[in-house]
Structure 1
Amino acid sequence: MSVPALSGRVFLLITGASQGIGRQIAESFAPLLGDGSLVLLLARSASGLQETAGKLSGKIKVHTVSVDLSTATADKLRDIIGTALTPAGAKQFEKAVIVHNAASVGDVSQSTVAMTDFQVWRDYYDLNVFAPAVLNGVFMEFFNADAKVARLVINITSKCGIEPFKSMAYYCSGKAAREMFFKVFAVEYPNVNVLNYSPGPVETDMLRTVQTNIGDPEVKEAFVQLATSRSALTTEQTVSRLVKILESQNYKSGQHVDYYDSGY
């Protein structure tokens, strides 16, 4: 398969790459990259990152950095990307791709009126909204118009960003804010290809956390049903769909595209 957005000499950055969807994106994207490409994998788990790196093709370079994105400063992120690029810089690549995947579901046991701790809100938004926004800005500093590379930004979003689910106000509000940020980015920078991809219900640790801890009984039953009916998607299924969407390019930059949407 040839995916134009991922072909040639590519710099690919993936957050949350130590497990789940992030790991699968690395595994599925890597074979599509051309010789001389570099994959930068970020996550908190150093061992998980090494496991992911070990699954990638030897034809590309892989750089892993264990980092807590919720506390990393812009300068720290500049250092990480700059070190990976080496003195040759951004111009050695034909394309630059960043996948904002890292996220947490937050406390799903509470209703909205119980969410009264400012620090919990700040911690949640630091990782899920502020970190991808700042990282995206830093990434674009390196891969600006002067670098003359084609740029693709993928934000892993959720149906929860456009539809409310009881007991999931942290997650729903965070996904909504994050998606809108990338929609604004898309209209500000029309020469950057931006996709908000909603992967559907995927069998991951996050899904299992929701199934176990969700406070609202109605929503809990719906999520538990995914397990009993075995209807949750595998990471391979959802990332394969993402690749096909990128191959078709049949979306408007910044658009929310769900796994189940037709026409892609």
Structure 2
Amino acid sequence: MSPAADLGRVLCIITGASRGFGRAVARDLARLVQPGSALVLVARSGPDLRALQAELTESEAGRAGLKVEVVVADVGKVEGLEDILRTSKEAFYEDMDHILLINNAASLGDVSKYVRDFSDMSEVDSYLSLNVSSAMCLTARMLQAFPQHPGLRRSVVNVTSLCALQPFRSWALYCTGKAAREMMFKVLAEEEPDLRVLSYSPGPLDTDMQVEARSKTADQTIKKKFSGMFAQGQLLTCEASSAKLMKVLLDDKFTSGDHVDVYDN
């Protein structure tokens, strides 16, 4: 089966779209959707989102009929999810043939601590709300709002990490959140056979999160590893990793629920 030329006439929701990997994904998707598609860009940073909206609206895709909406929201809060859902419903047209949700929003958590230091339950709850509960509840709301029917393709991407599979010392919150999300999406793939579910690991990216990792990680072995990758130019650009994700989505050969890494063949 040859890869598709585009992703169709799609409503695409991208969380964490204002910068880094989410921003690169938004730019790539704008080039791979048919006219009449809509992007709903979600993040907490209004100025960055609106700058991206203006860029995409003025692009070739925008001039060809791509609709770009922004939602300035915290996905860890119920009102944020409600805003996303309302905007997505308003952006959807009946002749769209694809719903694509990119669960990208995430935070690193406090990597200056070890497991023995997390005695404050509210701190852990807050992290899990933003990084796990929000992804589950947003995905559920989108599935309810846009139920399966003939002619409609539905896809969900979970932006994951090697940390979902391997423990990193002093990264307990991040590893826990990524592992929990990945299992949740595996369960979703089993429950919804008509849904295309992908957990995509974008690799070590040259982003603000990497700066945080190099400067604040408590475990010195992990810290030196990331510092060394940066010094030796081994970090990936967001654009290179996003291009790989686009290829995976267009080829559409993955088994629903799979973990696919940027380095996979």
Normalising by the smaller structure, the TM-score range is over 0.9
Shift of 1:8: 2.4
Residue of structure 1 in register with 2:86 after alignment: 82
Residue of structure 1 in register with 2:171 after alignment: 168
The equivalent position to 1:159 in structure 2, one of 159, 162, 166, is 162
Q: Distance in 1 between matches of 2:172 and 2:186?
A: 21
Written as runs of structure 1 = structure 2, the 5 A alignment for 1:83-232 is 83-86=87-90, 91-146=94-149, 148-232=151-235
The percentage of aligned residue pairs carrying the same residue is: 39
8 Å CA contact 2:11, 2:92 repeated in 1: no
What amino acid maps onto 1:199 in structure 2?
Answer: P
Matched, 1:61 2:67: yes
SS in structure 1 of the partner of residue 68 of structure 2: strand
8 Å CA contact 1:90, 1:147 repeated in 2: no
Residue of structure 1 in register with 2:242 after alignment: 239
* Residues 150-183 of structure 1, C-alpha deviations (whole Å, 9 max, x = no match): 0111000000010000010000000000111011
Residue of structure 2 in register with 1:72 after alignment: 78
Structure 1 residue runs without a partner (length 5+): none
Q: Distance in 1 between matches of 2:188 and 2:153?
A: 16
Matched, 1:253 2:248: no
What amino acid maps onto 2:180 in structure 1?
Answer: A
Q: Distance in 1 between matches of 2:220 and 2:212?
A: 14
Structure 2 residue runs without a partner (length 5+): none
TM-score computed with the length of structure 1 as normaliser:
0.93
Q: Distance in 2 between matches of 1:125 and 1:14?
A: 19
SS in structure 2 of the partner of residue 92 of structure 1: coil
TM-score computed with the length of structure 2 as normaliser:
0.92
Residue of structure 2 in register with 1:26 after alignment: 26
Shift of 1:4: 3.4
8 Å CA contact 1:129, 1:174 repeated in 2: yes
Comparing 100-109 with 5-14, greater Cα deviation is found at 5-14
* Residues 81-108 of structure 1, C-alpha deviations (whole Å, 9 max, x = no match): 234433x856331110000000000000
SS in structure 1 of the partner of residue 200 of structure 2: strand
Q: Structure 1 147/100 Cα, relative in aligned 2: closer, same or farther at 3 Å?
A: farther
Q: Distance in 2 between matches of 1:91 and 1:127?
A: 31
Shift of 1:142: 1.6
